[in-house]
Amino acid sequence: MTERRDLAGRRLVLGLSGGIACYKSAELLRLLVKAGAEVHVVMTEGAQRFITAETMQALSGRPVATGIWDAAEPNGMPHINLTRGADAVLVAPASADFIARLAQGRAEDLLSLVCLARPLGVGEHPVPLLLAPAMNREMWTHPATQRNLAQAAADGATLLGVAHGDQACGEVGDGRMLEAEAILEELTTALSPKPLAGRKMLITAGPTFEAIDPVRGITNLSSGKMGFAIARAAREAGAEVTLVAGPVHLDTPRGVRRINVRSAAQMHDAVLPQAPAHDLFVATAAVADWRPASLSAQKIKKDGKKVAPTFELSENPDILAAVAALPDRPYCVGFAAESEKLEQHAREKLLRKKLPLIVGNLGPATFGQDDNALLLVDAQSTRPLPADGRPADKLTLARALIEEVARRLDGWTRSAAA
C-alpha cells in the first residue's frame, strides 16, 4: 500500500513568530513535507531566538526567508513572491504580538508583510491565512488579545484555537499551541473541497457491548477506525458532524461532536431523536444483534461442577431500519460487515431495510486494521472502492466514499423535492 500524501502538490508558506512553541513547528514542518507539501518557511527575528533557520531549512529543503531586504530575490519583493501561487499561509506559532500586528495591518517585518500581501481573491485565487496561536493563559484571555483575534478573523484569517495544559512559565491553562498532528488535520480540512457544506451528518461507529454481568458481555472486534475516518472526511467536506461512538479508544476527529454510548439500546436512544434533524445518516457501527434478556447483578461464578451457565437472548433494536423508516428520514447509508457472500448479503440488507446505498466489507479482514476495501451496492449496480479492489488506508477510502455520497445526496435531495 502506498503512503497517503494528503497535501501532495500543495505550496504552503509556514510562518513562525516568536515563542517557545517554535519547537513544535519543526515537527509540524516535518509532517507537512511528509504529506507531500512544498513548504517555504518565513521566520521573524523573535522566532530565530527559539529555533534556528538552519533547522527549518534542513527540514524543508529550501532556504528560509527572514528579512524584507533579501538580496537573493531578483525583484527584491519576497513578500510578493512567497504568496503568489501559494495554497495557504500558516502561522504557527502566532504570538499575541504578531496577532496584534495583523489586527492593526502593520507590516514592519517580512512575515506580517506576507500576510498583508497575500491575495484575497479579488482578481486572483485567494490564499487562506491560518493562525495557530501560542501564548500564556493570561495573555490569551486578555481583552486586547480577544479583540485582536476577532479582528483578524473578521479580516479573513482562520483561527485554529489553542490547547489547554502545562505552559512553559509553569502555569496551567489555555494558550498552548495545538500539537502538530492537530494543525495538519486543520490545514487539510481548510484546503479540502466542501461538497457537504451546509449539511448535517450523523454517524455511528465502533462496536456495542451487551452486558451479561458486571464484568462480562457480548461484543465484537470492530475498532471504529472506519467510522471515525468517515467522520473526519465528512468534516473536511464541510459537514457538521455528530459521531455516536461505541466503546473504542480513538481520538475524536477535530471539529466533530462526539456522543459515547455502550450498548445497542443506548446507541438507538442517542440516534433516533436526532436523525430527522440531519441530512445524512451513516451507520458504520457493528451493533450487536442480541443482548442477554436479563442482567446478573453480580459476577457469574464457577460452581465447581464445570457446567456453563445459560441465559436467554433478546433481539436488539435495528437502528438503521428505524431511521430509514422515519417519515422525515435522512439519506441513509448502511454498512454490511460479512464473513462470506459479501455482495449477496449486502444486497439482501439493502432491500430488507429499504436503503439507497449499502457499503459492504469483509469484517474478519478489516476489524482493527488500518486499511480496507469496500463494495458499494445500490438498487442498480455493484462496484468496488477503490476501483481496482485493492485495500487502501481507511481515511483515503472515507474521503472517496464521502465524495460518492455527496453526489448521491444531491440527486436524492433534488428528486425528493420534486
Catalytic residues, by residue number, are 169
Q: How many other CB atoms sit within 10 Å of the CB of residue 182?
A: 17
Q: Break the chain down into helix, strand, coil percent, rounded to 5.
A: 35, 25, 45
Structural contact between residues 73 and 63, judged by C-beta atoms closer than 8 angstroms: no
Structural contact between residues 345 and 353, judged by C-beta atoms closer than 8 angstroms: no
Residue 360 makes CB contacts below 8 A (sequence gap 6+) with: 335, 336, 337, 338, 342, 343, 345, 346, 374, 375, 376, 377
Structural contact between residues 227 and 233, judged by C-beta atoms closer than 8 angstroms: no
Q: Which long-range contacts (CB under 8 A, 24 or more apart) does 255-264 make?
A: 255/189, 256/231, 256/232, 261/208, 262/208, 262/209, 263/208, 263/209, 263/210, 263/211, 263/288, 263/291, 264/208, 264/210, 264/288, 264/291, 264/316, 264/317, 264/319
Structural contact between residues 42 and 111, judged by C-beta atoms closer than 8 angstroms: yes
